[in-house]
Amino acid sequence: MQQLITGMEILHVAAECYPVAKAGGLGDVVGALPKYQNMLGHIAKVVLPMYRTKFLYENNWEVVHKSGTSLGNWWFEYTIIRESTNKLGFDLYLVDINGLLDREKVYGYDDDNERFLAFQIAVVHWLNSWQHKPDVVHVHDHHTALIPFMMQSCYDFQRLRNIPTVITIHNAQYQGWLGWEKSNLIPRWDGWNWGLLDWNKAINPLACGIKCAWKVTTVSNSYLEELRYNSNGLEALFEYERGKSSGILNGIDTDVWDPATDTYLDKHYSVKTVDEGKQANKEIVCRTFNLDIEKPLIVFIGRLVGEKAADLLPRAIEDALFYIGRKMNFMILGSGEPHVEHQLSSLQNPYVGYYNSQIGYNEKLSHQLYAAADFLLMPSRVEPCGLNQMYSMRYGTIPMVTKTGGLKDTVKDFGEPQGYGICFDHPAVGEITHAVYRAVELYQQETKVKNIRKKIMQLDFSWNTSAKKYLDLYESLS
């Protein structure tokens, strides 16, 4: 059996991949999973759009393919380049489509639908020219979810129809909807298969990926269960496709996320030196952001959107400081909905010394905060997996989370036997405030906190187990 999977060739196609381009956890996963698959003796490669990122300019590239194809009536040339030193631990290919993909941001343009459609068409067009085909094509989220359909239903790509495909759903909220008037943008396809593209009278790339991929995975078991009754309109589809769906919990890249070597940190530490190490990092952060070093530091890092319940933060923070008293510090790092950004910035004045925020995306500061914080707050309404809580634990920071999705699968309340986090049932202001109260109380119990820190730093959230689960899944398709 083992023989069969040795040296499988896996092609990951995605919109993000750390450190090339990252907007959130998708980037972290696509930057790590292939590396671990390669370490297990396989050949995993990644293809993503050629955005105009720092990584592009600071590395060496070679052109591996040049061709042209069309997006509806628009003929476009595309170029595939490969990073020439294999510095990421896997072959990285970027697709350059002049004017369409080579922009600074990953998402957020009016023509995002067309951009990702052209990207997918170029990838499939290129793949069609390969002499030796990969053993599996693994796509991630809606930006790449039309690929399984194109491989099976587009006349020009019939050579690809027997290659197994897997789709991983990192977030089902976003589905990439397209009006049917755009159906001509997809390369000539078998009209009998229109039902594969359609969901509620629109082309729904995510739904189409779920229907067409040979296997569907979600990034935690609990999320898979939740999708059957809460998936932004796809509930019936998830119920129908249960047979080919499974949950595989994300791992974290323990090379990148290691407080003993993290290049973003001024003070390194390990399990043995966690208390001094965290104190030193906390001092730096508290000095920089004018916070009180004596008080427990509670941080939030993430996208300021409804799924993360970021809208509840301003009120919860004010309530906590009012009802519990100024016994804690808060620090927020995030960007997202403008009104939430504004509210979180406005709290700075009234609560100088106890509260601060940094609006924007800052990779370095995120690492510093995971190291400096005593607690990490994640009151998410929906959390398919969540990486922040795993990073925080690796850095000895106690997570405070709602019992949902991957948070439920990775954090156990300290009130339970063998527990180590703070969990609450619902993303509600009162429950967040109560969790803050519990954090403040826990912080007083120094020995308990020290023991929890040591314990969570040693929990195994590495990719080793999950990378093997994906390989077993691919193997089941061969």
Q: Which residues bind ligand ADP (CB under 6 A)?
A: 24-26, 28, 301-303, 333-335, 361-363, 366, 385-388
For ligand GLC, the binding residue among 383, 411, 433, 456 (CB under 6 A) is 383
Query: Nearest to ligand ADP by Cβ — which residue?
Result: 25
Q: For residues 319 and 469, what is the distance between their CA atoms, to the nearest angstrom?
A: 44
For ligand GLC, the binding residue among 15, 219, 371, 473 (CB under 6 A) is 219
Give the closest residue to 296 by CA, choosing from 441, 427, 429, 421: 441
24 lines the binding site for ligand GLC (CB under 6 A): yes
249 lines the binding site for ligand GLC (CB under 6 A): no
Supply φ then ψ for residue 129, to 5 degrees: -90, -5
Size of the site for ligand GLC (CB under 6 A): 14
**Residue 219: contacted member of ligand ADP, ligand GLC, none (CB under 5 to 8 Å, by partner type):** ligand GLC
439 lines the binding site for ligand GLC (CB under 6 A): no
Q: How far is the CB of 466 from ligand GLC (least distance, A)?
A: 11
250 lines the binding site for ligand GLC (CB under 6 A): yes
Q: Name the token pair of 437.
A: 């109260």
Q: For residues 336 and 309, what is the distance between their CA atoms, to the nearest angstrom?
A: 12
Q: How far is the CB of 25 from ligand GLC (least distance, A)?
A: 3
Task: List b or e across 136-159, with b for residues whose CB sees 16 or more CB atoms inside 10 angstroms.
Answer: bbbbbbbbbbbbbbbbbbbeebee
Q: How far apart are the first and last CA of the chain?
A: 11
For ligand GLC, the binding residue among 49, 187, 259, 384 (CB under 6 A) is 384
Q: Which residues contact 291 (CB under 8 A, 6 or more apart)?
A: 285, 297, 329, 331, 353, 354, 355, 356
Q: How far is the CB of 218 from ligand GLC (least distance, A)?
A: 9
Q: Which residues contact 160 (CB under 8 A, 6 or more apart)?
A: 124, 127, 128, 133, 137, 151, 152
Q: Name the token pair of 45.
A: 């490669």
386 lines the binding site for ligand GLC (CB under 6 A): yes
**Which CB, 26 or 393, lies closer to ligand GLC?**
26
Q: Count other C-beta atoms under 10 Å from residue 287's C-beta.
A: 10
**Which CB, 163 or 172, lies closer to ligand ADP?**
172
Q: Name the token pair of 371.
A: 């190291």
Stretch that binds ligand GLC, among 109-117, 269-277, 294-302, 379-387 (CB under 6 A): 379-387
Q: Which residues bind ligand GLC (CB under 6 A)?
A: 24-26, 29, 170-171, 219, 250, 383-387, 406
